[in-house]
């Protein structure tokens, strides 16, 4: 069944269902037929991505931690999860773009701010002002940005094993148009040594562990022409919650690589190891062998995913509907998105919409005739390189890179 063996998680589901007056026989039948998603749908929406399935209330955002209005979001501590059903199209507006913080957002001014480039693998230390950055050749990149923990709660809901970290549903992702300068141009200014191998990006969010959130890029990725240091987001200066005055955009890689409030770059002739590539942002579990100084496999590239742009669970009226959603892959454009409304016994093609520029996500849609009752729809994406969402994802302790097809619960009223 969807939850695997009977567990404490199943007991929580039963407590929720019985509290709604559901007979045990119906509960067991729903659990077998559609897993946790079917039970949650029949319970009328409790246990959605804004409410953990134990029934405890969602946390609210500390008003001092963020600058944007949290109202349109699912609030998770000091982070904001986007609601896919509110997305107006291909590009995510700034005021609907998710926020993932490791501390409170930082309010910086360009006066007195600078970007320092240093390390044992550059010829000279640079101290670049905001105006210096603006004078460099600009580059525009359209790319989705996604937290490594997007879909994390699904390890709990679908496999019955809760992972550590913020219990993101499907909305720790957004798609933007980023303008900035090539990181390669900045490194070239500093004079890269022949033995350079590692580029450490450090943010100015001093309340973060290590005195500023930081991630390491291998030199090859740092020199990719589409790895940029962005100062604009969707035609506006970077919002404060999204890293003003400068942030990294590393297309196709997890959000933790895309440092906000960037203040320092350290280039080294040796691999650099920090908390965020040894114990955090690492796949830790029986299926993942440790690499280097890390406790498991370091998380770098994102993976292929798809999701319906509907509330979780959704409620619809009986009759014909056009259902829409989003799909993305770091390995290339989305070639195909299929859907199943019978538990995966059969799959049908949706229509993948164009355009899909650069590293953008794709929109898809399909017609569905809704009959009264409880339903579950799954979607499964395939990219042009042949990568497809797997039937099951091995568990990892921190809950990263969950991308098996999601059974989306839908209650249809007559």
Where b means 16+ CB within 10 Å and e means fewer, 258-292 reads bbbbbbbbbbbeeebebebbbebbbbbbeebeeee
Judged against a pLDDT cut of 90, whether residue 2 lies above it is answered with: no
Q: Can you read off the two tokens belonging to residue 294?
A: 């890390």
- pLDDT reported for residue 103: 84
pLDDT at 29 over 90: no
pLDDT of residue 52: 32
| Position with higher pLDDT, 253 vs 44 | 253
Task: Compute the average pLDDT of residues 254-278.
Answer: 97
The number of angstroms, rounded, from the C-alpha of 255 to the middle of its chain's C-alpha atoms is: 7
pLDDT at position 338 is: 98
End-to-end Cα, the chain, rounded Å: 28
388 and 380 Cβ atoms separated by less than 8 Å? yes
**Whether 102 contacts 62, CB under 8 Å:** no
Give the pLDDT of residue 186.
97
Q: What is the mean pLDDT of residues 211-240?
A: 97
According to DSSP H, which parts of 196-273 are helical? 219-222
pLDDT for residue 51 is more than 70: no
pLDDT beyond 70 at 253:
yes
Q: Under a CB-based contact definition with an 8 Å cutoff, are residues 305 and 381 in contact?
A: yes
Interval 329-379: pLDDT, tens:
999 999 999 999 999 999 999 999 988 889 999 999 999 999 999 999 999
Q: Of 43-57, 165-179, 244-258, where does mean pLDDT reach its minimum?
A: 43-57
Residue 77 — pLDDT band, cuts 50, 70, 90? confident
The Cα–Cα gap between 295 and 273 comes to 12
Mean pLDDT (whole number) for 117-128: 97
Mean pLDDT computed over 8-12: 51
| Closest C-alpha to 100, from 236, 267, 215 | 215
The confidence band for 16, taking pLDDT boundaries of 50, 70 and 90, is low
Sheet of 114-118: strands edge to edge?
Answer: 126-129, 114-118, 262-268, 198-203, 214-218
Least confident of 187-196, 207-216, 244-253, 400-409: 207-216
State mean pLDDT over 261-269. Answer: 98
154: three-class secondary structure by DSSP: helix
Share of the chain above pLDDT 90, in %: 80
- Residue 277 CA to residue 267 CA, distance in Å, equals 16
Residue 158 has pLDDT above 50, yes or no: yes
DSSP H or E segment with residue 131: helix 130-135
Largest CA distance in the chain: 72
User: pLDDT tens across 131-148, in order?
Assistant: 999 999 999 999 999 999
Spatial CA neighbour of 214 closest among 263, 266, 259 = 259
In three-state form (DSSP H/G/I as H, E/B as E, the rest C), the secondary structure along 358-397 is CECCEEEEEEEEECCEEEEEEEEEEECCCCECCCCCCCCC
Higher pLDDT, 7 or 23: 23
**114-298 belongs to CATH 3.90.420.10:** yes
**What residues does each domain of the chain span?**
8-42, 114-298, 305-413
Q: Which CATH class is domain 305-413?
A: mainly beta
pLDDT at 47: 39
Count other Cβ atoms within 10 Å, centred on residue 314. Answer: 22
pLDDT at 49 over 70: no
Report pLDDT for 392.
97
Of residues 5, 4, 2, 10, the one with CA closest to residue 33: 2
């Amino acid at each position: 069944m969807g939850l695997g063996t009977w567990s404490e998680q199943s007991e929580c589901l039963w407590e929720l269902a019985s509290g709604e007056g559901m007979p045990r026989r119906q509960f067991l039948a729903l659990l077998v037929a559609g897993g946790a998603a079917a039970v949650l749908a029949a319970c009328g929406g409790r246990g959605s991505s804004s409410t953990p399935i134990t029934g405890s209330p969602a946390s609210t955002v500390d008003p001092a931690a963020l600058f944007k209005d949290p109202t349109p979001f699912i609030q998770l501590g000091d982070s904001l999860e986007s609601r896919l059903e509110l997305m107006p199209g291909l590009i995510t507006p700034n005021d609907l773009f998710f926020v993932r913080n490791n501390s409170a957002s930082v309010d910086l001014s360009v006066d007195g701010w600078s970007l320092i480039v240093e390390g044992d693998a550059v010829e000279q230390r640079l101290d670049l002002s905001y105006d210096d950055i603006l004078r460099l050749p600009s580059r525009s990149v359209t790319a989705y940005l996604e937290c490594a923990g997007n879909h994390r709660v699904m390890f709990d809901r679908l496999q019955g094993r809760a992972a550590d970290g913020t219990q993101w549903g499907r909305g720790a992702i957004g798609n933007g148009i980023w303008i900035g300068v090539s990181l390669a141009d900045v490194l070239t200014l500093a004079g890269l040594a022949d033995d350079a191998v590692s580029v450490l990006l450090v943010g100015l969010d001093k309340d973060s562990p290590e005195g500023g959130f930081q991630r390491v890029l291998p030199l090859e990725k740092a020199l990719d022409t589409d790895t940029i240091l962005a100062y604009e987001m969707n035609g506006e200066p970077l919002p404060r919650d999204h890293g003003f005055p400068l942030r990294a955009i590393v297309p196709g890689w997890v959000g933790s690589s895309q440092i906000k409030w960037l203040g320092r770059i350290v280039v080294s002739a040796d691999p650099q190891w920090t908390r965020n590539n040894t114990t955090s942002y690492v796949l830790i579990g029986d299926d993942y062998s440790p690499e280097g100084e890390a406790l498991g496999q370091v998380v770098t590239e994102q993976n292929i995913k798809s999701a319906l742009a509907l509330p979780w669970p959704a409620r619809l009226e009986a009759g014909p509907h056009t259902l829409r959603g989003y799909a993305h892959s770091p390995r290339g454009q989305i070639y195909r998105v299929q859907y199943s409304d019978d538990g995966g016994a059969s799959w049908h093609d949706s229509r993948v919409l164009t355009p899909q520029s650069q590293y953008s996500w794709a929109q898809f849609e399909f017609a569905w005739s809704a009959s009264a009752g409880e339903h579950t729809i799954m979607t499964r994406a395939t990219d042009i390189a042949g990568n497809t969402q797997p039937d099951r994802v091995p568990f990892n302790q921190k809950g990263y890179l969950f991308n098996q097809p999601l059974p989306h619960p839908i209650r249809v009223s007559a």
